[in-house]
Amino acid sequence: MAEGTEPAERQRTPDATDIEMLRALLRNGVAAIHQSPEAKMTPSTYMELYTAVSKLITRKKYEDGKLLGETIYKDVSKFLAEHLQSVARTLESQDDSALLSAYFAEWDQYTFSATKVDRILNLLNRHYILRNTSEGKKGIYPILLLHFVQWRSQVWDKVSSRVIDCAQRAVEKNDGNTGRMNDMIQSFEKSGVDTDAISGDDDRTRIRKSLEAPFVLEVEKLERELDEIAAKNGNMKVEMGSR
């Protein structure tokens, strides 16, 4: 998302034929949401962004035949990667005494923004993304889950070891984050995921899985479903080929 661009609130939805302006409006809107998670979005801004998505989705293809749904998806994915690289740098700069609180604060803001963006891009979820996932294609996620995937690769993979260390100390020393960590651990254990393995986990592993659960479990569930669809489709092709 380019800096210094006109805020989404001051823009008006470009004509349906102006693809690049529609993309810019949408990119700036997503950036504004993530840069100011608590800022209230006016109904007119919401409709401008939603309408921009609608105009892009209803235009079937670029002149070169590229699907516009794919273009929107890649624009959002690219922005999230760039945005989260900055988040990771901020967390990496924190002292151990402040890291866990900073991590939770960044995660809370990010997921709050992710929910907003997911609503705005609902049409993308319902058309381009649903079409691909229903065919068992991997690597394409509903927008909320795309946020989770990017968080894992751009933030968690870089700070997880230190965050887990801090979380373990919080549980042991009963500090300001103890309550939240205990709630996360209990929530994960009650989720019924991997029950046999949980019972044999050491404290550190249990803490890691609990911290990962908010952005991992739904993604893994979708990926298992995609594997089942792909296997089913593969079996159908084999059956048709043998006739």
Closest CA to 118 of 107, 129, 108: 129
Which pLDDT belongs to residue 13? 73
Max alpha carbon distance in the chain (Å)?
Answer: 67
Helices 19-35, 96-120: axis angle to 10 degrees equals 140
> What separation in angstroms does the CA of 241 have from each of 13, 134, 136, 233, 237?
49, 22, 20, 12, 6
CA distance 68 to 192: 39
Closest CA to 145 of 225, 43, 217: 217
For 140-187, what is each residue's pLDDT tens digit? 999 999 999 999 999 999 999 999 999 999 999 988 999 999 999 999
Asked if 155 and 89 count as a contact pair (C-beta separation under 8 A), the reply is no
At residue 83, does pLDDT exceed 80? yes
Which pLDDT belongs to residue 240? 54
For 115-142, what is each residue's pLDDT tens digit? 999 999 999 999 999 999 999 999 999 9
Asked if 137 and 233 count as a contact pair (C-beta separation under 8 A), the reply is no
Lowest mean pLDDT among 13-27, 129-143, 204-218: 13-27
For 16, which DSSP code? T
Q: Pick the residue with more confidence: 223 or 195? A: 223
At residue 192, does pLDDT exceed 50? yes
Lowest mean pLDDT among 22-26, 27-31, 187-191, 215-219: 187-191
Tell me the domain boundaries of the chain: 39-232
**What values do phi and psi take at 67, rounded to 5?**
-70, 135
CA distance 36 to 149: 21
The pTM for the full model equals: 0.87
CA distance 10 to 12: 7
Beta bridge partners of 16: none
Task: Give residue 17's Cα distance to chain centre.
Answer: 29
Closest CA to 204 of 175, 151, 157, 163: 163
Considering the chain, what percentage of its residues have pLDDT values greater than 70? Answer: 85
Q: Pick the residue with more confidence: 243 or 120? A: 120
Q: What is the CATH number of domain 39-232?
A: 1.20.1310.10
Asked if 125 and 54 count as a contact pair (C-beta separation under 8 A), the reply is no
Lowest mean pLDDT among 11-20, 103-112, 144-153: 11-20
H or E element, residue 72? helix 68-92
